[in-house]
Amino acid sequence: MSGEPTPTPGLEVSVDRGRCCGYAVCMGVCPEVFDLDDDGLARVLLDEVPPELEEKVRFAEMSCPEAAIKVCATAGVEADRA
């Protein structure tokens, strides 16, 4: 192996504020990633979801009654696989 960093995929999450109604289901499922802002709408607390929270974030996405949460794979962070 070359010892050079290799990108590892991560997850990025966003909330469509036009769809969010502030039910806070996401916050109940994964408070480590979601919170409500001053307007009572969901907001994301992290730029990238840590691996140990990925399952909870995907469940929050599926549980959102307004389908306002979007979870996407990112290019990820550099990881040394030497």
- Give 5-48 pLDDT, tens digit per residue: 555 568 999 999 999 999 999 999 999 999 999 999 999 999 99
Which whole-number Å values give the CA distances from 61 to 28, 29, 34, 64, in the listed order?
Answer: 12, 10, 11, 6
- Residue 51 per-residue DSSP state: G
- Partnered with residue 73 across adjacent β-strands are 11
Place of tokens 């962070």: 77
The radius of gyration of the chain from alpha carbons, rounded to an integer in Å, stands at 15
The structure's pTM equals 0.79
Place of tokens 């996401």: 26
Fold of domain 7-77? Alpha-Beta Plaits (3.30.70)
Place of tokens 């109940």: 28
